[in-house]
Amino acid sequence: MKDQEIITEEQKKIARFAKAMGHPVRVYVLEILSKQSCCYSGDLSEILPIAKSTLSQHLKELKSAGLIQGETEPPKIRYCLNQQNWDLAKKNFENLFGE
């Protein structure tokens, strides 16, 4: 046996999701996306008091955690939730918190 695996894959996954949600701006973005289907990065950029480049990094972080996805629609990019992983995250958190 290679690994005693004290910590489960699900726990790691929760931590990964949680980490991505661990910043106010990213929570803000997720909340927007969970309420309306999609949004353009530019809209966020106008509202949020941060530099474009900073926003871009937050979106990248959310994307690499699998929580959102972006469809290029030149010259803009439309961001949506990655519904599959969003549902997974939801389920994982429900498990943790207990129904």
Partner DNA sequence: ACCTTTGTTCGCAAATTAACGAACAAACAT
Partner DNA sequence: ATGTTTGTTCGTTAATTTGCGAACAAAGGT
Which of 41, 42, 54, 89 is close enough to bind a second copy by CB under 8 A? 89
Q: Is 42 among the residues that bind a second copy (CB under 8 A)?
A: no
Find the binder of DNA among 17, 21, 25, 62 (CB under 7 A): 25
Residue entry with tokens 């549902």: 87
**Does the footprint of a second copy cover residue 76 (CB under 8 A)?**
no
Distance CA 45, CA 56 (A): 9
From residue 27 to residue 46, what is the string marking binding to DNA with x (rule CB under 7 A)?
A: -------------xxx--x-
Least distance to a second copy, CB of residue 71, Å: 22
Q: Which is nearer to a second copy, 19 or 76 (CB)?
A: 19
